Amino acid sequence: MPRAYIGVDVGTTSTRAGVFDEAGTLLATARHPIRIWHEAGDIVEQSSQDIWDACATSVRAAMAEAAIAPDSVGGIGFDATCSLVVLDRQGEPLTVSASGDKQRNVIVWMDHRAIAEARLINETEDAVLRYVGGSISPEMEMPKLLWLKRHLRASFDAAGHFFDLADYLTWRATGSLQRSTCTVTCKWNYLAHDRGGWSAQFFKRIGLSDFVNEKYARIGTEIVAPGTRLGAGLTRIAAAELGLSPGIPVGASLIDAHAGGIGAIGGRDGSGGASDVNDRLAYIMGTSACIMATTTEPCFVPGVWGPYYSGMVPDFWLNEGGQSAAGAAIDHLLKSHPGHTEASAAARSEGLDLIDFLERRIIARAGSASRAALLARDIHVLPEFIGNRSPYADPDTRAVIAGLDLDTDIAAMERLFVAGLCGLAYGLAEVIEAFAAHGVRSSIMIMGGGASRSPLVRQIMADTTGLTVALPQTREPVLLGAAMLGAVAGGAYASIGETMAKMSALGRKSEPTAPDMAAFHTRKREVYKLLRDVDRGSRAAMADIARG
């Protein structure tokens, strides 16, 4: 009997489920929103129970759309944002919020409450930090854990389990406390190479010796490769909640962007053969964006996370650049423009979402996706609303916009939109150049995430970076990557590498266009660098003024 595989993806604002066949063909998808508490700028919290309930709703809906029986499912995999889940010793939610609300037991990846703790950790200059580009980010889990210890000590002491969200989901599905190499290596400072494991010296130096004393029981004592079959598969309770059969194999998890990387970079090329993953860069765009490259030997790139051994593809090293705000930056730019209400109404009247509406107008006016960038000749955006993740590792960076006028019509909104896309492309180019300067080189970039389906986005990225930009054949590479975990756990394929080659392929490509567009972007990048100087200079000028 043909088998199907389910991938479950938990993003920042919603959960999604996808059902795939053994060849990687998408059979059905479903989405369900999740609740988010966003307060005082830096505080972003969620509920693990709400997230699990949304996963269950998504899976049930996708299975209904696929119209297949639960006993035809051969495996399931989960991916999620790198958010911190806190549970008590009975596995119940434990608050991470000043409100005391137990529902609010997840510190979301984009929560920057732990900037001071990240600085304290970086001041130790511990050798472990070499494997996060030399500087830990407040988006990672150790600063968040240290914040809890310093500011919510009761919750820290009462906690029985600290999970990365993706590992929480597999625990909820199977009861297994095993953690994924992907999550703990990329976000918890675990050293997967040379039997490094957890570093007792590091924990002691950063003020978290509690974990050493308890032999790491609350953060993970058994670390396994992504796709490893966990426990006895779905428990009866989890199966009932998901609408599936007990015992279905569950694979160890991946971070969401890394699932997108797995679902994208190993695909068959146009000739039907498999290409070297080390020649391919993955650019996964969502609320934030991740830029990921694999190498056979470790490459140390200052300001870029990693190198992580087996952080994404088993037995390869991963360098992970990123942009803390990508889709979130564009959404914020558009919502802040006076033309937003008018443009949204016009888009609805044509049955389009706002982005599609704007892009169709922009490309029609410019004559091509490539030349659309010329609309942003006189407006420039440094779109770093919540800091620079790479290659400067500066969480205090903020956005700068130059060239605004008093125009409030849709055309002015279109210019701002294009300028924002250019700003994201220039940040991407900085990461790629940092990669190349330290031996991480690629000739093709595989894009995933919602924005990747935009011909305008792909062309601006190609013209800016000089790389060929390709789409995965599937329109859902993140969900496919999660489903691949289930396929490995279920025994359909022997390894992640084999699964990538069998279940994925490359699709449409965008090539860099005329030299005049490359010259245009080079000139705009000079302005982009000036905006970064303005941001740094303004912060320096005001540094000794107390905050109100």
CATH number, position 522: 1.20.58.2240
What DSSP state is assigned to residue 546?
A: P
Report d(CA 247, CA 109) in Å as an integer: 31
- Tell me the residue range of the domain where 407 lies: 327-431+514-541
Looking at the DSSP assignment, which residues form a beta bridge with residue 180? 224
Report d(CA 523, CA 521) in Å as an integer: 5
123, 209: one domain: yes
8 Å CB contact between 79 and 18: no
87, 177: one domain: yes
355, 250: one domain: no
133, 238: one domain: yes
Report d(CA 341, CA 335) in Å as an integer: 8
Report d(CA 405, CA 124) in Å as an integer: 46
Q: Is residue 52 part of a domain?
A: yes
Q: Is residue 404 part of a domain?
A: yes
8 Å CB contact between 4 and 74: yes
Q: Is residue 315 part of a domain?
A: no
Domain final position from 254, 282, 299? 254
Per-residue model confidence as pLDDT tens for the chain (548 residues) = 679 999 999 999 999 999 999 999 999 999 999 999 999 878 999 999 999 999 999 999 999 999 999 999 999 999 999 999 999 999 999 999 999 999 999 999 999 999 999 999 999 999 999 999 999 999 999 999 999 999 999 999 999 999 999 999 999 999 999 999 999 999 999 999 988 899 999 999 999 999 999 999 999 999 999 999 999 999 999 999 999 999 999 999 999 999 999 998 887 776 544 457 878 999 999 889 999 999 999 999 999 999 999 999 989 999 999 999 999 999 999 999 999 999 999 999 999 999 999 999 999 999 999 899 999 999 999 999 999 999 999 999 999 999 999 999 999 999 999 999 999 999 999 999 999 999 999 989 999 887 888 899 999 999 999 999 999 999 999 999 999 999 999 999 999 999 999 999 888 888 888 788 999 999 999 999 999 999 999 999 998 886 65
Domain final position from 254, 270, 303? 254
8 Å CB contact between 179 and 220: yes
235, 138: one domain: yes
Q: Which residue has the tokens 């990747």?
A: 452
10, 157: one domain: yes
Report d(CA 165, CA 176) in Å as an integer: 14
Q: Is residue 12 part of a domain?
A: yes
What DSSP state is assigned to residue 394?
A: B
Question: Which tokens belong to 107?
Answer: 């510190």
Burial of residue 297 (CB within 10 Å: 0-12, 13-18, 19+) is exposed
Domain count of the chain?
Answer: 2
44, 134: one domain: yes
Pairing type for strands 506-510 and 468-472 reads: antiparallel
109, 218: one domain: yes
Report d(CA 402, CA 524) in Å as an integer: 12
**Full-model pTM:** 0.91
8 Å CB contact between 34 and 256: no
Q: Is residue 445 part of a domain?
A: no
CATH number, position 223: 3.30.420.40
Q: Is residue 503 part of a domain?
A: no
8 Å CB contact between 54 and 14: yes
pLDDT 10s digits, 112-157 = 999 999 999 999 999 999 999 999 999 999 999 999 999 999 999 9
E strand or H helix at 484: helix 477-489
Helix (H, G, I), strand (E, B) or coil at 79: strand
Helix (H, G, I), strand (E, B) or coil at 202: helix
Q: Is residue 334 part of a domain?
A: yes
Residue 271 is predicted with a pLDDT of 52
Residue 1 is predicted with a pLDDT of 61
455-465 and 515-542 helices, crossing angle to 10° = 90
Domain final position from 224, 254, 284? 254
Report d(CA 64, CA 41) in Å as an integer: 39
8 Å CB contact between 46 and 35: yes
H helix intervals, 93-164: 115-123, 141-151, 153-158
Residue 130 is predicted with a pLDDT of 96
pLDDT 10s digits, 442-498 = 989 999 887 888 899 999 999 999 999 999 999 999 999 999 999 999 999 999 999
Burial of residue 221 (CB within 10 Å: 0-12, 13-18, 19+) is middle
Report d(CA 427, CA 286) in Å as an integer: 15
Q: Is residue 468 part of a domain?
A: no
340-349 and 354-366 helices, crossing angle to 10° = 90
